[in-house]
Amino acid sequence: MRTAKQLLLSLALLVGLMTPQVAAQCEDSYWPIYAGGAKGNEEVRCFVYDPQTQLIIVGGTTTSEDFAPAPNEHGYMFALDLSGNWKWGSFFYNVSYAVSSVDGCQLSSDGTTLAVAGMGNSQPLLMDINTVDGSFNKFISLDYIDATTENVPAYIQYGAIYYDVRDYRDYQPYFYGAFVKDDAMFMLRVADGGASPTVDWNFQFVNYSDAEELV
Amino acid sequence: MKEPNFIIPDPKQQSALYMIGRYRGKGSVIRFNKRDGSIRWHAQFEEISSIKSVSQASGDDDLFLCGHYQPNEGGSDSTTEDSTINYRAVMARMKDDGDVSWIITATGKHPLYSANTYEDQDKCLGISYYKEKEQLAVVIQGKMTEIRGTNKGDWYDTILLLMKSGGETDKVVSISQGNLEYDMYGAKNGVFWVGDDIFFAGKSYGFKTNN
């Protein structure tokens, strides 16, 4: 029965459940859960359990046109309850640009929302999502201030993000993120307590010199 | 090559965060101050090329890390994923001062092993700590014949490893796709406990636990 289902569904993304006894058969008939398109071009890059809503949140990127609206890269997210029931699922757009990938996630510091790192319009995104329904609380696109038609930065997002909703010193909310830009690693903090988000500090990591290496 | 994979809080010290992943070509943990981003310490593993998963318990000092080691990578930034590249799964436990309590390599023989053609290939993609039971769930994307069925070839299966928090192996099971010759790819940081159940995620075509 399960083998037949595998062949018929031809889906690519799985979320599995095992007991600690690693039984030969899954105990709950809802599991495993498959989601994706016929191409099978879905990757999971965000997988987290929210104990407050008791939902499992799954996110990543897809190029299946029968899972996302088109065959170009789209970020996706969906939520399941612990029995495997589908609760919500979304694709995200930033005006005319798709959120091309969801690359990582982590519950916010108070555990009430989900911070999500991704890419949109080839730029890093810092997002905060309501896990109850997948709606946005925050959407921040990091635009390179010196970008021109000749100077286009190339970003790679690996998913590092943390949203501290109440800093221990000034009680303000801050996003922390990191990504690679033009082969250099950057780490930054975005102050989110004012009228608009502001980069609070930003560091580029460079390799140690030979002398520093010896030390 | 750099991979800033995670930024996580220190559960015991509000002023500090960790950035974890790959830096200068090695698996790295960087502890820094929230206030100004200044770095307190940077630990790099000589035998972890990239850290792909991290787990910590609330109120705990320790980080549980896992990733892979590419021993022949040398100074290049090669990210080749074909069968000629040797990968080994690695798990480690680290304290908040950067000291490593233990580090364990898990790998086995490729079913078609031939030097420089079919190398051993095992990567750790997920680790999750269950503090109350002092147990770890580890997900390895691997090809090791010691664990997989005898009919398995040059494709990845999912290997679920249960470990004690001291690093001892408790149980292990291979999760394959029956007779399908199809890679199963684990999700980065793609495993967690909910109560006594282990949930994991990845990219595949189906799966079952019978070898």
Residues of B in contact with A184 (CB under 8 A): 2
- Strands of A86-91's sheet, edge to edge? A42-50, A55-62, A74-81, A86-91
Residue B47 has pLDDT above 90, yes or no: yes
Phi, psi of A5 (to 5 degrees): -65, -40
Residues of A in contact with B162 (CB under 8 A): 20, 22
- Assign B178 a pLDDT band (cuts: 50, 70, 90): confident
Residues of B in contact with A159 (CB under 8 A): 5-6, 188
In a domain, B210, yes or no: no
- Assign B207 a pLDDT band (cuts: 50, 70, 90): low
Which pLDDT tens digit goes with each residue over B58-79?
Answer: 888 899 999 999 998 865 545 5
With CB atoms and an 8 Å threshold, state whether B199 touches A15: yes
Q: What's the structural domain count of chain B?
A: 1
User: Between A24 and B92, whose confidence is greater?
Assistant: B92
The secondary structure of A127-180 as a DSSP string is: EEE-TTT--EEEEEE---TT--SS----EE----EEEESS-TTT---EEEEEEE
Nearest C-alpha in A relative to B183 = A12
Could you say which of B190, B203, B205 has the minimum Cβ distance to residue A6?
B205
With CB atoms and an 8 Å threshold, state whether A13 touches B203: yes
- Average pLDDT of B33-62? 95
Question: How far, in Å, are B68, B115, B157 from residue B86 at the CA level?
Answer: 10, 9, 16
In a domain, B211, yes or no: no
DSSP state of A27: S
With CB atoms and an 8 Å threshold, state whether B209 touches A24: yes
A150's CB contacts (< 8 A; 6+ apart) are: none
pLDDT of residue A8: 28
Residues of B in contact with A48 (CB under 8 A): 192
pLDDT of residue B163: 97
Residue B32 has pLDDT above 50, yes or no: yes
In a domain, B58, yes or no: yes
In a domain, B26, yes or no: yes
Residue-level pLDDT, tens digit, chain A, 215 residues: 333 333 222 334 556 554 444 444 444 557 888 888 888 789 999 999 999 999 999 999 999 888 888 888 999 999 999 999 999 998 887 667 889 999 999 999 999 999 999 999 999 999 999 999 999 999 999 998 888 889 899 999 999 999 999 999 999 999 999 999 998 999 999 999 999 999 999 999 987 677 776 76
With CB atoms and an 8 Å threshold, state whether B206 touches A45: no
Q: What is the ipTM of this complex?
A: 0.93
In a domain, B125, yes or no: yes
With CB atoms and an 8 Å threshold, state whether A179 touches B8: no
A165's CB contacts (< 8 A; 6+ apart) are: A108, A109, A110, A112, A113, A173
Residues of B in contact with A42 (CB under 8 A): 203
CATH number for B126: 2.40.128.630
What is the enclosing helix (H) or strand (E) of B200? strand B197-203
CA–CA distance, B92 with B100 (Å, rounded to integer): 7
Residues of B in contact with A177 (CB under 8 A): 7
With CB atoms and an 8 Å threshold, state whether A47 touches B189: yes
Nearest C-alpha in B relative to A43 = B203
With CB atoms and an 8 Å threshold, state whether A16 touches B199: yes
In a domain, B111, yes or no: yes
User: Between A24 and B156, whose confidence is greater?
Assistant: B156
pLDDT of residue A168: 96
With CB atoms and an 8 Å threshold, state whether B201 touches A178: no
Could you say which of A10, A44, A158 has the minimum Cβ distance to residue B187?
A44
pLDDT of residue A24: 45
Q: Which residue range forms the structural domain that includes residue B116? A: 3-73+81-200
- Assign B44 a pLDDT band (cuts: 50, 70, 90): very high
pLDDT of residue A26: 47
With CB atoms and an 8 Å threshold, state whether A201 touches B36: yes
Domains in chain A, start-ordered, CATH in brackets? Answer: 2-214 (2.120.10)
pLDDT of residue B211: 37
Q: A15, A21, A22, A164: which to substitute to probe chain B, counting the most B Cβ within 10 Å?
A: A22
With CB atoms and an 8 Å threshold, state whether B203 touches A56: no
